[in-house]
Structure formats: structure tokens, C-alpha cells
Structure 1
Amino acid sequence: MAKIKIAQNPTFTAVVQVPRIGGEPAPVEFEFRYMDRVTLASMFDRWNKARDAWNEKARKGEASWEEVTAGEITLQAEQLGEIVTGWDLEDEFSQEAIVNLVRTCIGAPKAVTDAFQAAYSQARLGN
């Protein structure tokens, strides 16, 4: 029987198919921060509350499309900042680069967060 440590590695990698407008998605390796189940749940709760607040403002007409979009960009950049610790892009990894990725690659935030979540789903399947 193989012996493993209960403690997980502090980071893990996954390849993300980053959507490119007018082209094929590009495979990019991302390094993610490991989180335990309680930390994940807390983070997802915060994300959902923030997203719901922006959706409510938009529904009530309390914010313009530009304001909602700016809020979404800020939220998505914060999300990636929480889970991503590095990447294999030509642009050096930084908070500014995360914001640029979110602003210019509309599908990237979802692709990255989906890959992060999928890593946890695959871990469950393997046990």
C-alpha cells in the first residue's frame, strides 16, 4: 500500500484552455493555491455574495452597464488573485497582469476558476 501524507501540497498546477477571441483556446499552465474544504466554502460564499450584490444592482437599475462591468472585472481579478499563484504566460505574474487578463480575455476568469474547481472534483473521483 502506498504511503502518502495527509497534508496536501501548498500549490498544484493545471492546464487551462484560455479562450482567445477570433482564435482557438490556448493551453496555459496555472499554479493554484491549495485550500481545505472549509476555506473553499468560505471563499465561495464571499464570491457568491459579491456577485449577487452586483446582479441586484443591475436588476434594480442602480448601476450602469459600465459600472457593473467594472465591478465584475474587480471581483474576477480578486478571485484569480485568491486562487492563482503563478502561470506560464509571457506576461510576468502580478496583480496588474491578473487585472489585464480579466479585462482583455473575457472567458479567462471562468476558464481559470473552472479548472481550479475541476482539480478538486478530480481529486474526489480518485478517492
Structure 2
Amino acid sequence: MAKIKISQNPTFKAKVAIPRVGADPVSVEFEFKYLDRLALAQYFDKWNGASEQHIKQVQEDGLTWQESTAAEIAIQVGQLKDIVHGWEFDEKLSDESLTALCTTCVGAPQAVLAAYQTAYQPARLGNS
């Protein structure tokens, strides 16, 4: 009988279609940090809390579009820092390169988060 370990690898890879303005998306391989269900839920709580705080700040403080966008980019950079371990981009993974990605590629943060979440979805079994 084959031996299979229950524990997961600490990282996994997935392709992400990074949207490009006026061009087709570019497929980039990302290496993600594996999180167990409880750790993943903790991050979702953290991210939801940051989003709720951002919405509250926009409503109460009347932020300008630029201030609101800068705050949203900061939230997205934090989300990607939590889950991305490496990538295929020429630029080395860093706070600055994550900020550049979130600033220049409007749909990139959502594409990365969606690819990460898709990796956690149970695989379809059989032909159903």
C-alpha cells in the first residue's frame, strides 16, 4: 500500500491570468503559501475587517478618490503579502513590486486572490 502523508506542502504553484490594459491577460506562475482551514479563515477575517474599516473611513471621513484608492491598494498589497511566496515576474517579490502590481494592474489583485481561492476548492470527481 502506498504511503501518503496527510500534511500539505508548505507552498503550491498556480497560474494566474494577469489582466493587461488594452492587451490579453498574461499567464504568470505564482507560488502560494499553503494555509490550513483555520489559518485561512483567520486571514479572511482580517481581510474582511480591513475592507469594512476602509468603507467606514470613506463614508465617515469623506476621502478623496485618490486617498480611497491608495488605501485600497494598501489593503490589496497586504492580502497578497499574506499568501504569495514567489512569482515568475522579472521583478523580485517585495513590498515595492507588490505595490507596483496592485497600482498598475487594476484587476491583478482580484485575479491572484481568485486563483488562490480556486486552488482550495474541492476537485471535481468523475464525469459529473
SS in 1 for 2:89: coil
Give structure 2 stretches of 5+ with no counterpart.
Answer: none
Partner-residue secondary structure (3-state), 1:25: strand
Segment drifting more, 25-34 vs 47-56 = 47-56
Report the number of matched residues: 125
Moved over 3 A (4+): none
* TM-score, normalised relative to structure 2: 0.91
Whether the 8 Å CA contact 1:58–1:65 is kept in 2: the answer is no
Q: Percent identity?
A: 47
The offset of 1:4, in angstroms, is 1.5
Specify the SS of the correspondent of 2:40.
Answer: helix
Q: 3-state SS of the aligned residue for 1:24? A: strand
Paired with 2:56 and 2:123, the residues of 1 have a C-alpha distance of: 36
Q: Distance in 1 between matches of 2:95 and 2:42?
A: 22
C-alpha deviation, 1:2, in angstroms: 4.3
Residue 23 in structure 1 maps to residue 62 in structure 2: no
Distance in 2, matches of 1:109 and 1:64, equals 22
For residues 77-96 of structure 1, what are the structure 2 equivalents within 5 Å? 77-96=77-96
- Coordinate RMSD, CA, aligned: 1.5
Structure 1 unaligned spans of 5+: none
**Contact residue 15 and residue 29 of structure 1 kept, 8 A:** yes
Structure 1 residue 61: deviation in Å? 5.0
| 2:67 corresponding residue in structure 1 | 67
What is the 5 A alignment of 1:46-61? 46-61=46-61
TM-score by length of structure 1 reads: 0.92
SS of the aligned residue for 1:18 comes to: strand
> Following the alignment from structure 2 to structure 1, what is the Cα–Cα distance between the partners of residues 118 and 58?
30
| Corresponding residue SS for 1:100 | helix
